[in-house]
């Protein structure tokens, strides 16, 4: 089975980068206002999901799941669960970060949910590529100028970073003290991150943007 691409309604400014991340055979699921990215991405929907409170139902000739507006899951979370139920184990999330902070933080938890179920997952926005580091090491080639490690789930122990400007050896990162921001792969090297216990959010940054 191929990869499932979940497309939410958060802003996408760099459609070229998002398009470059798409692969032939991707099954694209547009979630409600994510439909506004259909033309910019140029990717045909395999499924449309939503309660259509933020985008009208376009009544496309594809499978559409219309959800109630009062529900526990957001449209995006429902779409991910639906894809899991259909056997998908590899995910790319687009248009899920930015805009409303509550939706961004909620969508970050999708990465944790997929990791807990053993699925592969990455999320892409205009500034970086987001992945969870847990059972498998995180790798950052020097084509990324920066990367950050953030704890969004309990305490991570046994954190080791090799081939980076700021290495770590058997360290601990908690949610209370986020000191893993803005590291750099060494020139000509691929930084390698491992975690013995817990999970970390790895953000590979595309460009130098200081907020």
With a cut of 60, say whether residue 210 has pLDDT above it.
no
Domain 132-205 has CATH 1.10.510.10: no
pLDDT at 99: 83
Mean pLDDT of the 56-72 span: 90
- From 194, 139, 195, 201, select the one nearest 175 (Cα to Cα): 201
Q: What value does the CA radius of gyration of the chain take, rounded to a whole number of Å? A: 18
How far is it, in rounded angstroms, from Cα 202 to Cα 79? Answer: 23
- Dihedral of CA atoms 27, 34, 123, 180 in degrees, nearest 10, equals -170
pLDDT at 208: 55
In the chain, where the domains are located: 4-126, 132-205
CATH of the domain spanning 4-126 = 3.40.50.10240
Range ranked top by mean pLDDT from 26-30, 149-153, 204-208? 26-30
> Looking at the whole model, is its pTM more than 0.85?
yes
């Amino acid at each position: 089975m191929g990869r499932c691409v979940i497309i939410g309604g958060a802003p996408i400014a760099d459609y070229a980068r998002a398009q470059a991340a798409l692969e032939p055979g991707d099954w694209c699921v547009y979630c409600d206002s994510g439909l506004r990215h259909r033309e910019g991405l140029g990717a045909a929907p395999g499924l449309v999901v939503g309660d259509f409170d933020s985008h009208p139902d376009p009544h496309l000739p594809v499978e559409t799941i219309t959800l109630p507006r009062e529900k526990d899951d957001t449209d995006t979370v429902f779409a991910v669960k639906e894809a899991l139920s259909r056997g998908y184990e590899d995910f790319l999330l687009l248009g899920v970060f930015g805009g409303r902070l509550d939706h961004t933080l909620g969508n970050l938890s999708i990465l944790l949910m997929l990791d807990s179920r053993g699925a592969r997952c990455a999320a892409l926005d205009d500034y970086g590529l987001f992945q969870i580091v847990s059972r498998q090491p995180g790798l950052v080639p020097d084509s990324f100028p920066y990367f950050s490690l953030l704890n969004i789930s309990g305490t991570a122990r046994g954190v080791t970073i090799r081939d980076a400007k700021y290495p770590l050896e058997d360290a601990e990162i908690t949610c209370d003290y986020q000191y893993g921001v803005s590291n750099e792969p060494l020139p000509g090297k691929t930084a390698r991150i491992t975690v013995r216990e817990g999970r970390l959010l790895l953000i590979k940054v595309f460009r130098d943007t200081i907020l």
